[in-house]
Structure 1
């Protein structure tokens, strides 16, 4: 007996399952939402496509292996027969069909139900105040002693390439459904790392525009873009942060449905998730600092404008005062009838304005 089969027998649970009649076509659990349905024995994919009922019967007759069924956004009617066939809990089924769940790990009798938030970086030529940066979806995973059911929601997160990678490593796949659960968790967290690196490039671009303006001009960072990055970063944070506890449970708590060898791999995934969590927290603090710096720059620019306005108002006050005095039209005023009074008044105004202007220029007000 191979070591992989020995481990599966060690963790196999005594099950009492109802046999479902699959002979009637109307009761076939496959629907348009099913992406794939494959049986695996000793880590090897069994040839030929077959309905879920036939696949699970084939696996149970062989006393080993498991069935992997992949679905994409199934309806309640499409998922009902599969839920009945594998004895899935109604609460978990409801979560899987309606989606919009937080990352979590729940146990229902002999089934583990895990929810993962998938993320994808949305490419854009230029970041604006309305740019979509992070697109999110969901993957729900039902894991039992002899089956894995994945339910995917969203426009991305296809598990086809992941399935091919696992099939290329029969030794890992022979460890049972928990190997698939680990591969999905590792795939999701790797996407977190890739998205975090891409978001960092956007943050660096905004930071450069705020702190390193071109040609001696003021920083031109758009606060709308900074707020948009914070909103998109919040989407990433909602996907990353709640996943920490489920991964810690899978990595540290003994579970009959998780192979002990696979549990070691979950520790590595948890470490990667911790790295992403730290990055997201650092990005949030950095964006707060950038926003505060931008607001400070705006305040400084307003103060500079106010100083210029005040300086020009002081210069204009000199001719206003002189003209106001000589515009009072009294009969007895000094030099009122003098031939050179008008040119002298203009000269005094010009000299006074020049002196005041030069003083403001020296002090940096103009």
Structure 2
């Protein structure tokens, strides 16, 4: 599917048929979403460019993601998507060719939808301004995702240290694992965007425009601050995971301690009962009138003596 944005148009136009298609002179943004090979070939023939395939977009080598060819600047970054199946990092290619922005993606990304809705009202007049507006939306979405993650981390922190006694940790650990996954993906996306920002400065459309250069530096500062924020979240999540595991160990030690004390308490009466349960013929207490009360008394005393000793030692 190919959507086209014209200069001054109120919104996108869906290009249903690409047979013999050529971009109109006032086009500033071509957005490919899940393009077929036929659509790619039609646009390649119209623009005299070779667009990257999904396999090429998935490569992680900088030379495969950031390059210039036939007067066009190709930039591929990994963006964060929050799909129903869970968060993931997906490759998206930005092509700036003769001040026309071309984007190629295979996932529905919220940042693209947000920018597509507000682009007509923002006075986007060129491919480079569309690129920076779109990158602004991407940074905003990453900031929002990190903010949501920060809130979930704070909630998990409060739940860990102020949870009711006996509450299980599975839900808390699952929440922390989800927060760590989003933070890690966001940080990886920011790293790839930082490379894109550095390479974008080489594009002729950007290098020759002082306003675009200043905007690019602003994006680099925003990306760097978000990267540091993501690093802070990572360290906080690591601390909370260590704290949760420490509390689990403390509870397990308490349980083991309880059973150890119980075993020690019931061991002496078990010994007394075992001795008098042997039924040897020559046992003086068997014929003694007070033998049975004596055995019971020994059992009770053998229970009370360890209890008193443990209490004085502060073991329970």
Q: Shorter-chain TM-score: which interval? A: 0.7 to 0.9
Deviations 1:315-335 (A, max 9, x none): 111112212233344454454
Preserved CA contact (<8 Å) 2:76 2:93? yes
Alpha-carbon distance between aligned partners in 2 of 1:296 and 1:218, rounded to the nearest angstrom: 15
Preserved CA contact (<8 Å) 2:272 2:299? yes
Where does structure 2 lack aligned partners over 5 or more consecutive residues? none
Deviations 1:275-328 (A, max 9, x none): 221222222222222222222222222221221111111111111221223334
Preserved CA contact (<8 Å) 1:37 1:68? yes
TM score, norm. by length of structure 2: 0.82
Could you say which residue in structure 2 is the equivalent of 1:263?
Answer: 213
Preserved CA contact (<8 Å) 1:115 1:139? yes
Structure 1 residue 257: Cα displacement: 2.0
Could you say which residue in structure 2 is the equivalent of 1:352?
Answer: 302
Alpha-carbon distance between aligned partners in 1 of 2:96 and 2:45, rounded to the nearest angstrom: 15
Could you say which residue in structure 2 is the equivalent of 1:79?
Answer: 40
Structure 1 residue 261: Cα displacement: 1.2
Deviations 1:78-121 (A, max 9, x none): 111111211213xx4324x8754559432213111122434344
Q: Per the alignment, do residues 197 and 362 of structure 1 end up closer, same or farther by CA in structure 2, a change over 3 Å counting?
A: farther
Alpha-carbon distance between aligned partners in 2 of 1:283 and 1:202, rounded to the nearest angstrom: 11
Does residue 169 of structure 2 align to residue 220 of structure 1? yes
TM score, norm. by length of structure 1: 0.72
Preserved CA contact (<8 Å) 2:21 2:46? yes
Could you say which residue in structure 1 is the equivalent of 2:185?
Answer: 235
In the TM superposition, 1:25-44 aligns within 5 A as 33-38=1-6, 40=7, 44=8
Number of residue pairs aligned between Structure 1 and Structure 2: 306
SS in 1 for 2:205: coil
Structure 1 residue 141: Cα displacement: 2.0
Cα RMSD for the two superposed structures = 3.2
Deviations 1:322-363 (A, max 9, x none): 122333444544544221121122122112212322433454
Preserved CA contact (<8 Å) 1:116 1:140? yes
Q: Per the alignment, do residues 314 and 341 of structure 1 end up closer, same or farther by CA in structure 2, a change over 3 Å counting?
A: same
Alpha-carbon distance between aligned partners in 2 of 1:295 and 1:75, rounded to the nearest angstrom: 49
Q: Per the alignment, do residues 146 and 218 of structure 1 end up closer, same or farther by CA in structure 2, a change over 3 Å counting?
A: closer
Alpha-carbon distance between aligned partners in 1 of 2:106 and 2:176, rounded to the nearest angstrom: 29
Preserved CA contact (<8 Å) 1:209 1:221? no
Q: Per the alignment, do residues 55 and 338 of structure 1 end up closer, same or farther by CA in structure 2, a change over 3 Å counting?
A: closer
Could you say which residue in structure 1 is the equivalent of 2:118?
Answer: 165
Preserved CA contact (<8 Å) 1:139 1:151? yes
SS in 2 for 1:168: helix
Q: Please identify which structure carries the higher helix content.
A: 2
Could you say which residue in structure 2 is the equivalent of 1:183?
Answer: 133
Deviations 1:118-173 (A, max 9, x none): 43446xxxxxxxx9553554542221124222223213336354245343344xx3
Deviations 1:162-219 (A, max 9, x none): 245343344xx34x321111111111111100011111222223223322212x4466
1:196 maps to which of 146, 151, 158: 146
Q: Per the alignment, do residues 99 and 166 of structure 1 end up closer, same or farther by CA in structure 2, a change over 3 Å counting?
A: same
SS in 2 for 1:154: coil
2:198 maps to which of 225, 242, 248: 248
Deviations 1:41-98 (A, max 9, x none): xxx4499979895544xx3xxxxx6542222111111111111211213xx4324x87
2:95 maps to which of 103, 117, 142: 142
In the TM superposition, 1:101-140 aligns within 5 A as 104-121=65-82, 134-140=87-93
